[in-house]
Amino acid sequence: MPTINASKYGYMINSADGSGAFATVRNGTSANGSVVNQSTTTSHFTTAANLGFSSKGDSATLRRTWWAFNVSSYASGYTITDLQLQFDPTTLTSTNFPIAVIKSTAQGNANANLTAADWDELDFNTLYSDNSSTNYWPDSNSVSTIDLNSTAISAFSTSYLKVCIVWWFDYTGVGALTNFNGQAGINYSYTPRITFSAAASGFDKVITNVEGYNKIINVSSTDIDKVINVE
One domain for residues 216 and 190: no
In angstroms, the Cα distances linking 190 to 9, 63, 143, 147, 231 are 12, 20, 9, 18, 31
At 225 the pLDDT is 53
Q: Which of 37-41, 175-179, 219-223 shows the lowest mean pLDDT across its residues?
A: 219-223
**109 and 213 co-located in one domain:** no
Same structural domain, 218 and 142: no
pLDDT value of position 148: 98
Query: What is the pLDDT averaged over residues 206-216?
Result: 46
Q: Which residue did the predictor score with more confidence, 176 or 183?
A: 183
Is a pLDDT exceeding 60 seen at residue 183?
A: yes
Are residues 217 and 111 part of one domain?
no
User: What is residue 221's predicted lDDT score, i.e. its pLDDT?
Assistant: 46
Is pLDDT of 164 > 50?
yes
pLDDT 10s digits, 53-99: 887 889 999 999 999 999 999 999 999 999 999 999 999 999 999 99
Per-residue pLDDT reduced to its tens digit, 1-49: 999 999 999 999 999 999 999 999 999 999 999 999 999 999 999 999 9
Higher per-residue confidence, 209 vs 93: 93
Comparing 225 with 131, the larger pLDDT belongs to 131
- Per-residue pLDDT, 217: 47
Are 109 and 29 members of one domain? yes
**Do 167 and 210 fall within a single domain?**
no
The pLDDT score that the predictor gives to residue 174 is 85
Considering the domain architecture, whether residues 51 and 161 belong to the same structural domain is answered as yes
Looking only at Cα atoms, what is the longest distance across the chain? Answer: 82
Least confident span in 11-25, 136-150, 157-171, 175-189: 175-189
Q: Is residue 179 over pLDDT 50?
A: yes
Mean pLDDT, rounded, for 144-172: 98
Q: Taking the CB of residue 121, how many other CB atoms lie within 10 A of it?
A: 18
Same-domain status, 127 and 86: yes
Domain that holds residue 228: 201-231
For residues 201 and 166, the model is more confident at 166
- SS3 assignment, position 183: strand
Total domains present in the chain: 2
In this structure, the answer to whether residues 148 and 48 fall within a common structural domain is yes
Q: What sign for the dihedral angle of Cα 86, 48, 62, 15?
A: negative
Residue 220, number of CB atoms within 10 A of its CB:
11
Same domain for 62 and 148, yes or no, is: yes
Give the model confidence (pLDDT) of 97-140 as tens digits: 999 999 999 999 999 999 999 999 999 999 999 999 999 999 99
For residues 70 and 142, state if they share a domain: yes
205 and 194 inside one domain: no
Helix (H) or strand (E) holding 169: helix 168-172
Kindly tell me the burial class for residue 221, based on how many C-beta atoms sit within 10 Å of its own C-beta (0-12, 13-18, 19 or more): middle
What is the three-class DSSP state of 159?
A: coil
